[in-house]
């Protein structure tokens, strides 16, 4: 009952931010057990910085035996959104795998405008990162962009897609050095009997699981999932980690509320391009630390709106 009331407070309509801050600090320091979920960005990053847990996840996503993943390296050492000046916190987990593979894994629960272009941009950026003029092109490493999404892209018709560059007539792979993998959490109820036994499906269910009983049951006979659940238990047992988890939950609920509110105001409502434009602007402002007051000005202050468009969109 108490957990239900806590969830209602965190995910309800926007209230005074100071009140929410006080509440989540008190909840973090209480003995109440939190229902840690991996769709929470902080929990995802914290859990999969455990190399054993990440090995299991990558084994499923890349369809390769866990034993062949001999070495994992985290070039991006930042964990909880505290990035250097000038760096946007866009990478949930960036991994350098043995056999010359670079991998970005991102989880995004809320619908995000132009995700296809975004994923292509960061895949391309990763592919050429560190490559210097005059080097042999053969030195470019295989790069894989993995998106775990809580929304469907227009072409999504099954829960897991592997996308490569290929000849559209012969289906011959042009190059195996660039690929994208899309895991659609909303599609998990539409899988076939055969797909129920796939390892990537089992990990998708773990990521989307809503309570501890399900998590513990799934981890009973899988050492890699067990490592993931143990990391989640560490979050629950540490007051500061609990606070950071709840802070991310609050930010997510605030973002959801703001999106729904401003789209309902009718800013170019009914025009997909207009909605995507405003979502992109609001997202950019929130990433820069702006809150409800600044976003409300978009509706009432045209000069401020023009200023924000020039700063974040153009």
Per-residue b/e over 251-260, b at no fewer than 16 CB within 10 Å? ebbbbeebbe
Encode 88-107 in three state secondary structure.
CCCCCEEEEECCCEEEEEEE
Q: What is the pLDDT of residue 86?
A: 34
Determine contact, residues 96/75, Cβ cutoff 8 Å.
Answer: yes
Domain spans of the chain, in order of start: 2-17+248-312, 41-239
Q: What is the pLDDT of residue 310?
A: 77
Which residue is listed with tokens 């990558």? Answer: 58
Which tokens go with 165?
């560059």
Cut 0.95: pTM above it: no
Name residues whose C-beta falls within 8 Å of residue 262's C-beta, 6 or more positions apart in sequence: 278, 282, 295, 298, 299
Q: What is the pLDDT of residue 265?
A: 57
Residue pLDDT tens, the chain, 314 long: 445 545 554 555 445 667 888 888 999 999 888 989 999 989 999 999 999 999 999 999 999 999 888 888 887 544 444 433 333 334 557 788 877 889 999 999 888 878 999 899 989 999 998 899 889 999 999 999 999 999 999 888 899 999 999 999 999 999 999 999 999 999 999 999 999 999 999 999 999 998 888 888 989 999 999 999 999 999 999 999 999 999 998 888 777 776 666 666 555 444 445 566 777 787 778 777 777 677 777 777 778 887 888 787 65
Q: What is the pLDDT of residue 62?
A: 94
Q: What is the pLDDT of residue 264?
A: 61
SS3 73: strand
State whether the Cα torsion 214-216-220-224 is positive or negative.
Answer: positive
Q: Which of 74, 61, 53 is nearest to 230 (CA)?
A: 53
Cα distances from 149 to residues 161, 241, 246, 305, in angstroms, run 12, 24, 21, 30
Q: What is the pLDDT of residue 140?
A: 93
Which tokens go with 62?
């890349």
């Amino acid at each position: 009952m108490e957990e239900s009331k806590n969830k209602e407070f965190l995910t309800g309509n926007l209230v005074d931010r100071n009140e929410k801050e006080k509440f989540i600090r008190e909840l973090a320091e209480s003995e109440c057990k939190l229902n840690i979920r991996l769709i929470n960005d902080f929990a995802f990053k914290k859990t999969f910085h455990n190399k054993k847990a990440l090995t299991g996840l990558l084994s499923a996503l890349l369809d390769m035996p866990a034993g062949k993943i001999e070495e994992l390296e985290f070039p991006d050492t930042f964990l909880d959104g505290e990035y250097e000046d000038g760096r946007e916190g866009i990478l949930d987990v960036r991994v350098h795998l043995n056999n010359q593979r670079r991998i970005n894994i991102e989880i995004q629960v809320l619908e995000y405008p132009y995700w296809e272009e975004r994923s292509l941009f960061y895949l391309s950026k990763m592919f050429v990162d560190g490559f210097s003029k005059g080097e042999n092109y053969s030195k470019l490493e295989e790069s894989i962009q993995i998106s775990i999404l809580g929304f469907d892209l227009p072409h999504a018709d099954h829960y897991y897609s592997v996308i490569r560059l290929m000849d559209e007539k012969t289906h011959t792979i042009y190059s195996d050095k660039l690929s994208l993998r899309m895991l659609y959490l909303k599609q998990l109820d539409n899988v076939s009997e055969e797909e129920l036994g796939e390892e990537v499906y089992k990990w998708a269910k773990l990521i989307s699981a809503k309570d501890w009983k399900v998590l513990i049951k799934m981890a009973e006979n899988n050492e890699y999932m067990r490592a993931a659940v143990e990391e989640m238990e560490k979050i629950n047992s540490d007051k500061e980690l609990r606070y950071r988890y709840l802070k991310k939950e609050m930010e997510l609920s605030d973002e959801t509320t703001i999106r729904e509110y401003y789209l309902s105001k009718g800013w170019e409502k009914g025009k997909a391009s207009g909605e995507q434009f405003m979502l992109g602007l609001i997202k950019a402002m929130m990433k820069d630390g702006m809150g409800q007051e600044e976003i409300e000005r978009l509706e009432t202050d045209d000069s401020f709106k023009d200023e924000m468009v020039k700063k974040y969109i153009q």
